[in-house]
Amino acid sequence: MTKPCLSCNLALFRWATKTEFKETVLVAFDFRGCILARWHNPVSPHSSLALIVVCLTSACSGTPHKQVRIAPPPPAVLPPLPSPPEPVPFAINGDLPPVPPAIDEVGLAILEATLRFERGEESYRTGFLKRAKDEFDGAIDVLLNVSAVNPKHDRVWFEITDLVARVHALEMAAVRQGDGFTDQTGEPAVIDDLQQVQTFPSLIDPKLKRAVEEDVEAITYDVPIEINDRVLGLLEYYQNGRGRNAITAGLERMGLYRPMIERILGEEGVPLDLIYLCQAESAFLPRALSRAQAKGMWQFISSRGEEYGLRQTWWIDERSDPEKSTRAAARHLKDLHEEFGDWYLAMAAYNAGPIRVTRAMESSGATSFWQLADRKLLPKETINYVPNILALTIIGKNPEKYGFEITPGDPLETERVPVDKATDLRVIAEAIKVPLDELRALNPHVLRWTTPPDDHDFELILPKGYAEKFNQQIAALPQSQRVLWRNHTVKRGETLSVVAKKYGIKVVELAAANNLNTKKPLQTGQSLIIPMSGPAPTATPVAMTKTAASRNETYTVRRGDNLTEIAARFKVSVNNLKAWNKLSSNHIATGKKLIVGSPPSLTATASAESHKVVHRVREGETLTKIATLYRTTVDAILSWNKISDLSVMHPGDLITIFLGN
């Protein structure tokens, strides 16, 4: 049989490679499937194509097909092959072995962001906001980076929106609860306990009286100590009654302040034993607050504190400054002693006020405190007040004799530094490496998280040896890195109400932060302190899930229902339920019909809100950089933030971004 010529059948041949005994073989076939030629260890199939053509050309001669074997080239010297891998066992049912799952880059990024957010939450709870902010920013950056690689991944955008909303909620909570809108909490003053103590004299054990008299004779005092049933009754109250815990805690706490108090009392020329008046007033608690609103270790009422130079503003209350209040108390006691010529009457006047003591003496003809007490011409608290100080002095001078085991606290060693710019205590604590709780405890007179602005008389109390470090770390710190507060420059026509509404705060809070009269108009160009992290909506933005209904669906409240359960049932947020139904609280009445799917009028808004992000401006960022980061335009950002003046941005400013638009 004659074979077709090459020109007719060139396209009909095929070739293939296979492995025989670890040797690569190239095989050429004709159009009938007959083997034309074999090559062992060819350099490549394509390099041997010329040989195939030669073979096919020879087929046109009409001679019978012969298998052509080309002698292989000398074998190349190759390194020994590695041992073949052990065979993978197959399942009994013949299934293929499991294939390792592909790496979920999005899932890993979300996990990393979640872990960073949780670390930020922990820093936030312990008061280190800068550290928390770094973790929050890092968490969002992780998600933004993975979103750049996966731009159409809905899960990433939802996580970004949800994370930003959670961070923003924490920031607003910090502003509302701890960054200027709430005072430092006061602690009960022990002076109020005297209201509960029965008026003396009472039955006193004669043995106790003899023991106290012997003790007093053996110890030196710089105030006169009179032993009578009133004094012994108070001593019994502390030794065996309810007052035991209070005096124990107070005498131990006295160790912290004793050197400072005795130094100031000595400088002002008053008896050192008057330190026990401080024990009677507050048990040495700087933030002690009585029912009469007296404050501090020495329990000054507001007017008396102002009289002796203790400043009280929205930012600070120097009645709680241990050193300054001690100086004021020493001068006040010295003045009272000069007025009455007797330390017992001076003590009574310290408690009841000099006018009341003077009138009681004038109306009765009494010349001593004991006469006023016996005739009950003074308030019950004052009648107990002087013998109370004497009893505390007797115990404090020799606590072991009266059954007290006291371990005084180590004296506080501090130094003061002037701070004339508003500076967050958390910034200071992190900069000088002092625990935040310790810094706040040393500065009980600072009412907010931030030192007062433009106050050249303010001094911050630091542990001894930290002043130099403070000056190195804080002195040159720019204002943008010092506080969470914002500066606002008043524009023409703006009022307190307009500015307060813009930043979502109350007029009284804005006025208090700036020491302004609410009825006095603002001046154009005037600088205001805004006590918040930046402009923000009055309600915390909530990320809406993809499963939230976009329909006007209602639900009738049943007995036992609550908003949380209803929100979970219909896969919406509690905030949305409250907004759709105009609820001001979480209370819902049985039988009430609730909108549980977004109403048609809100559908467009909900769609936009589902991709809403609040971006915090960082150092060096511009609108162009931010627009590039979120793949949007500068004009779009300006249109979303018409309420804010973005012509000049500051680090910490908040800008609203709608992702996907």
583 vs 438: which has the higher pLDDT: 438
Is residue 188 within 8 A of residue 288, CB to CB? The reply is: yes
CA proximity to 329, closest of 276, 394, 255, 390: 276
Q: How confident is the model at residue 173 (pLDDT cuts 50, 70, 90)?
A: low
Can you count the helices (H) and strands (E) in the chain?
25, 14
- Examine the pLDDT at 427 and tell me if it is beyond 90: no
Q: Rounded to whole angstroms, how far apart are CA atoms 512 and 453?
A: 12
Q: How confident is the model at residue 111 (pLDDT cuts 50, 70, 90)?
A: confident
pLDDT of res. 578: 76
pTM of this prediction? Answer: 0.54
Is residue 109 within 8 A of residue 148, CB to CB? The reply is: no
- Each residue of 629-638: b (16+ CB within 10 Å) or e? ebebeeeebe
Helix H or strand E segment including 289: strand 288-289
Q: pLDDT of 568-600, one tens digit each?
A: 667 676 767 777 777 766 678 777 888 877 554
- Examine the pLDDT at 353 and tell me if it is beyond 80: yes
Angle made by CA atoms 11, 16, 18, in degrees to the nearest 5: 175
245 vs 53: which has the higher pLDDT: 245
Angle made by CA atoms 460, 461, 464, in degrees to the nearest 5: 135
Q: What is the mean pLDDT of the chain?
A: 76
276 vs 566: which has the higher pLDDT: 276
186 vs 295: which has the higher pLDDT: 295
Angle made by CA atoms 618, 622, 626, in degrees to the nearest 5: 80
CB burial class (10 A; 0-12, 13-18, 19+) of residue 525?
Answer: exposed
Helical segments of 40-104, H only: 49-59
**Domains of the chain and CATH, by start:** 6-69 (no CATH), 107-178 (1.20.58), 187-402 (1.10.530.10), 414-481 (no CATH), 486-530 (3.10.350.10), 554-609 (3.10.350.10)
240 vs 347: which has the higher pLDDT: 347
Query: What's the alpha-carbon Rg for the chain, to the nearest Å?
Result: 42
CA dihedral 546, 653, 449, 113 (to 10 degrees): 40
- Examine the pLDDT at 640 and tell me if it is beyond 70: yes
pLDDT of res. 547: 34
- Residues 216-239, mean pLDDT to the nearest whole number: 91
Beta strand pairing status for 612-616 and 654-658?
antiparallel
Q: Which range is least confidently modeled, 330-334, 519-523, 591-595?
A: 591-595
Q: How confident is the model at residue 461 (pLDDT cuts 50, 70, 90)?
A: very high
Q: Which range is least confidently modeled, 172-181, 380-389, 504-513, 537-546?
A: 537-546
Q: Rounded to whole angstroms, how far apart are CA atoms 659 and 539?
A: 20
Q: Which range is least confidently modeled, 403-407, 467-471, 591-595?
A: 591-595
How far does CA 68 lie from the centroid of its chain? 85
Is residue 436 within 8 A of residue 283, CB to CB? The reply is: no
